Amino acid sequence: MNAAMLMLVATTFTTPAPAPAPAPNPVVTQSLKLGSHTTFVSPDAAIQAKQRGSVGGKAVFIDIQGGIAFNFGTGFFVGVGASFTPGSNDKISIMGDFNFGRVGGVNGYYISFNGLFNLKPTSSGMVPFVGAGIYIIHFGVTVDLGEFGHFSASGTATGLQIIAGIKMKADTAHPIKLSVRLGLGNGTPIIIIFGYGF
């Protein structure tokens, strides 16, 4: 074997094999996959997406509430309300409530049923709303007349009302609702209600 062939054989056995290509980094690969599907959404659109068809992932809420009354006597109410968002809409809600109260020194109750229209959410996640419905206000009084017995009197007023307010923390499971109700006729009662949803 001559010198040229020996050098060729030596080169063949001593030259290292090329290093394998490094395996792709799974984190980087996953990031690239996610990045290919990334969509940028405006803040208003993100808030509206949270609101669509429900609030805080729910379509029905029970509210513990209380408020004050004006214009047909001054007093307060405490009670419970319920609101429902039908179907997959994000605009229309149905709300009803029942409240006990004391106004002008007389005990009674206030009931209302309302349809609400939710306006465009604000950038902070609050949802203004307007609506209308019917109300029932009942008051009764009993007076002890001693040996002459008792005297009782009661009265009930029913009418239309308009309502406006705002839902705070509207994209959570516990929205806070502030509403102002204005009765039409029967002394034009004004009732302000503050509620906490569950």
- Strand-pair partners of 38: none
Residue 5 lies in a domain: no
Give the DSSP per-residue string, 133-188. Answer: EEEEEEEEEEEE-GGG-EEEEEEEEEEEEEEEEEEESTTSSS-EEEEEEEEESTT-
**Residue 68 is assigned to a structural domain of this protein:** yes
Smallest Cα–Cα separation from 197: which of 93, 109, 122, 101? 93
CATH number at residue 178: 2.40.160.20
| C-alpha separations of 149 from 104, 140, 145, 146 in Å | 24, 17, 5, 6
Q: Is residue 169 part of a domain?
A: yes
Residue 7 covered by a domain: no
pTM above 0.75, yes or no: no
Domain assignment of residue 189, given as a range = 43-197
pLDDT band at residue 53 under the 50/70/90 scheme: very low
Answer for the pair 107, 77: CB distance below 8 angstroms, yes or no.
no
List 35's β-bridge partners, or say none. Answer: none
How many domains would you assign to the chain?
A: 1
Between 12-26, 50-64, 90-104, 117-131, the lowest mean confidence (pLDDT) is in 12-26
- Which pLDDT tens digit goes with each residue over 63-121? 999 999 998 889 999 999 999 988 778 899 999 999 999 998 899 999 999 999 999 99
Given a contact cutoff of 8 angstroms between Cβ atoms, the answer to whether 192 and 177 are in contact is no
